[in-house]
Amino acid sequence: MINLETPRKHRTLIDQAHQVAMNMLRPISRTYDRDEHSYPKELDMLAAMIDGLAESGSAEGAGASGVRRDDRDDDSGGVRNGANLASVMSVAEMCWGDTGLLLSMPRQGLGNSAIASVATPEQQERYAGTWAAMAITEPSTGSDSASISTTARLDGDEYVINGEKIYVTSGERADSVVVWATLDKSLGRAAIKSFVVRKDNPGMKVERLEHKLGIRASDTAAITFTDCRVPAEDLLGSPEIDVKQGFAGAMATFDNTRPLVAAMAVGCARASLDLTRDLLAQAGVTVDYDRPAQVQSAAAATLLRLEADWEGAQLLTMQAAWMADNRKPNSLEASMAKAKAGRVGSAITLACVELAGSLGYSEVELLEKWSRDSKILDIFEGTQQIQLLIVARRLLGLTSAELR
């Protein structure tokens, strides 16, 4: 039976993540928001510590993890609280500190989660220690990942990749980029595969870094691939095109990354709620959790409503991760978590700015920054509209061709 309380074995990891967020990330948050594109060198020490914890096995979920249906390391039939649940909970705590800095963490990129989800055991070992960004979005595709136009053509024992990717998180800093490309446009989405492209592969070029509304500590790049040659062994998973399976193999990556993004929204929104409650208390507005909202002040009633929305997002996020740990298909739940957390996260942070008045809008506090940071969490890894479309297809049992 599912229990969405913090598992005892993860409490130490979660507490450590909170301490890091409070004592390391919060103090430098404003600095790197203002100094966009500067690499936060303070993260190197933190990344080394996380690597050590993950390698020692003393903190399951300390690093990027993946959803793997074929991993049957526990056949006891019992309930597992594993790396996926630990990851989303620790990510939420880190984003309580700073979302942009979390996204800047070496070797914890969204591409690492993609590798963890779909790479073969040999590839898992070979890519150990790499910092991987993930490149999906193109200038002409928007949210429709299935219409990717970047091509990969087999030439001997190498693939030749041509195309352009935009909004690649950690695109400049990462060691490699997981690139989505099609092997055969005529076969549609079934031919889309992902490739690990290293920065020293000829033909890959970072064209520019984007200036952004939020998550400014994180670099976001536009990258071109011009006859970029990639060893055939760097195609993630199987090179076979399975028309019956369609896009499912590539989309399995999102079953892992969407709960992580939902966790980022949960953490950022929690930070806003905590600070706003403190600011209201300083102004003489007390939130009484034992009394109905309608008999309290408008500000207190608003905060209670926001906290109820937040709890719904948190529970959906934990459910999606728990299902992954217990080898249950979680595509529907991953999209539900991402849709709920992305929407309410953005709404909560903006509402907290309003509740705090001039303090919320100024740079005296971090509320205005969190409202800017949270917006992207409702957009990347599939927009709000795409998530709702996926949820509708799953609930109605319709294909993408039947419900567009």
**Is a pLDDT exceeding 50 seen at residue 72?**
no
**Is a pLDDT exceeding 90 seen at residue 95?**
yes
Within 8 A by CB and 6+ apart from 402, the residues are 393
For the chain, percent of residues with pLDDT exceeding 90: 71
Lowest mean pLDDT among 9-18, 52-61, 262-271, 276-285: 52-61
At 162-179, the pLDDT tens digits run: 999 999 999 999 999 999
CATH numbers and ranges of domains, the chain: 1-404 (2.40.110.20)
**What is the spatial distance between Cα 302 and Cα 355, in angstroms, rounded to a whole number?**
9
Instruction: Give the position of tokens 């992207």.
Output: 376
DSSP string, 155-221: ETTEEEEEEEEEEEETTTTSSEEEEEEES-GGGGGGGEEEEEEETTSTTEEEEEE---SS-TTS-EE
- Spell 324-343 as b/e; 16+ CB within 10 A means b: bbbbeebbbbbbbbbbbbbb
At 117-164, the pLDDT tens digits run: 888 999 999 998 899 999 999 998 877 777 899 999 999 999 999 999
pTM attached to this predicted model: 0.92
For the chain, percent of residues with pLDDT exceeding 70: 91
Q: What mean pLDDT is predicted for residues 322-348?
A: 95
Q: How confident is the model at residue 54 (pLDDT cuts 50, 70, 90)?
A: low
Q: What is the pLDDT of residue 62?
A: 40
**What is the spatial distance between Cα 313 and Cα 321, in angstroms, rounded to a whole number?**
13
**Is a pLDDT exceeding 60 seen at residue 271?**
yes
Pairing state between β 158-169 and 220-231 = antiparallel
Q: How confident is the model at residue 16 (pLDDT cuts 50, 70, 90)?
A: very high
Helices (H), 164-297: 248-282
Cα–Cα nearest to 202, from 231, 173, 181, 180:
231
Angle CA(124)–CA(83)–CA(215) in degrees, nearest 5? 85
- Which of 42, 122, 381, 402 is catalytic? The answer is 381
Angle of the 331-355 helix axis to the 367-375 helix axis, nearest 10: 150
Known active-site residue 36: no
Pairing state between β 220-231 and 176-182 = unpaired
Angle CA(250)–CA(384)–CA(357) in degrees, nearest 5? 140
Q: Provide the residue count of the chain.
A: 404
